[in-house]
Amino acid sequence: MKYDTEHLLKPVSPEAFLRTYFERERLLIRRGDAGYYSGLFGIEEMLSFLQKENNAYPNVRMVKEGRETAYSEFSSSVSYKEARVNFNHLINRERVSRLFLEQGHSVIVYQAQTALDPLRRFCDTLEREWRVRVQANLYMTPAGSQGFTLHYDTHDAFILQLEGEKRWRLYDKPIHLPYDGEPMQNPEQHRPTLNCVFDEVLRKGDLLYVPRGHFHDVSATDVHSLHMTVGLLTSPWQALFRRVAEELEKEDFMRNTVPLAVWQQGELPAFKDQLKAAVMAGLDAKLEGLVDEYLGRHANGSASAGINRLARSFAQMERPRVRAVSSGVG
């Protein structure tokens, strides 16, 4: 099975998605097919991944009700005896299991495509098709628990329900299409006036698209849940405009002094015309080049494919035997 944009959005076509939903409206696809993602990733693959000896914080984290679990609660120091070196923050599988099953902590695998081949191939395919960076995060939440509380993201996201169920509640957008680096809005400040615009339970095989900026909170129902969030790390026009402004700052005319008060007022109209002409000329030249650069950024393959291949290569290297050294809680 080829996992690409068409398969991801089925039965909605990519063209219809871009025309109707992208950056505009949420999209829920009820598939009624629990095996729809079985060839991509599932709970067995997740548990197998967590059994590995070389998983480490911060790629693997835990969280409960909006608060990140201290890494000392679920990690250990490990010693490579032959090399006489120690590595900190390697995941302790017993502690992870105890926190998940007994205390309601969720497990998160960030940038999972760098460690898992099926997700690497999936993200590489999407990057080639979308020509933007794509990342995949995994969230495993115990029954009746919540990982993150009310928040919004600065990237568009596809939610793939891989196992169990997850209740998603979406609220108003405090800011139109927020971008990375922009100051985040405080959810508690907005909570009294927020309207819930979506309240649905995702089941195995379902898909939800969430445009960036929607406040949302998510919780597992009475069964454990595993879902994957595929994030599109797009570049807004604002980022291109900032690049244009940076390039224009280097032009000679930008070094001239703004007309001085009083005795140069008569020159102000001519200065405005000169500045406008110079900016427009520079804008036309710089913007065209930067747009071409952006559109061609992934023409020869995905942006992270090379790094993902390196990660895969390192992950496959045979490691010396390890012995655990007790550290932190446990």
Regarding whether 221 and 245 lie in a shared domain, the answer is no
User: What's the start-to-end Cα distance of the chain, in Å?
Assistant: 43
Looking at the structure, tell me whether residues 184 and 37 fall in a common domain.
Answer: yes
**Pair 85, 207 in one domain:** yes
Same domain flag for 256 and 204: no
Residues 242 and 200 in one domain: no
- pLDDT for 323: 40
Give the pLDDT of residue 288.
74
pLDDT (0 to 100) of residue 329: 41
Q: Are residues 245 and 223 in the same domain?
A: no
How many domains, in total, are found in the chain? 2
Residues 229 and 251 in one domain: no
- Are both 227 and 105 inside the same structural domain? yes
Question: Is residue 149 located within the same domain as residue 260?
Answer: no
Does the pLDDT at position 326 exceed 60? no
The pTM assigned to this predicted structure is 0.80
pLDDT tens per residue across span 63-118: 999 999 998 899 887 665 554 445 568 888 999 999 999 999 999 999 999 999 99
Domain match, 250 and 192 both: no
Interval 141-175: pLDDT, tens: 999 999 998 999 999 999 999 999 999 999 988 88
Domain with 143, as residue range(s), is 5-234+306-325
Alpha-carbon dihedral angle through residues 136, 137, 142, 147, given to the nearest 10 degrees: -140
- If asked whether residues 38 and 180 sit together in one domain, one would say yes
Q: What is the pLDDT of residue 301?
A: 46
Exposure letters 82-110 (e unless 16+ CB within 10 A, then b): eeeeeeebbbbeebbebbbeeebbbbbbe
| pLDDT more than 90, % of the chain | 52
Residues 155 and 174 in one domain: yes
Decide if 23 is inside a domain. yes
Distance in angstroms (rounded) separating the CA atoms of residues 28 and 325: 47
pLDDT digits (tens, 9 = 90+) for 7-18: 999 999 999 999
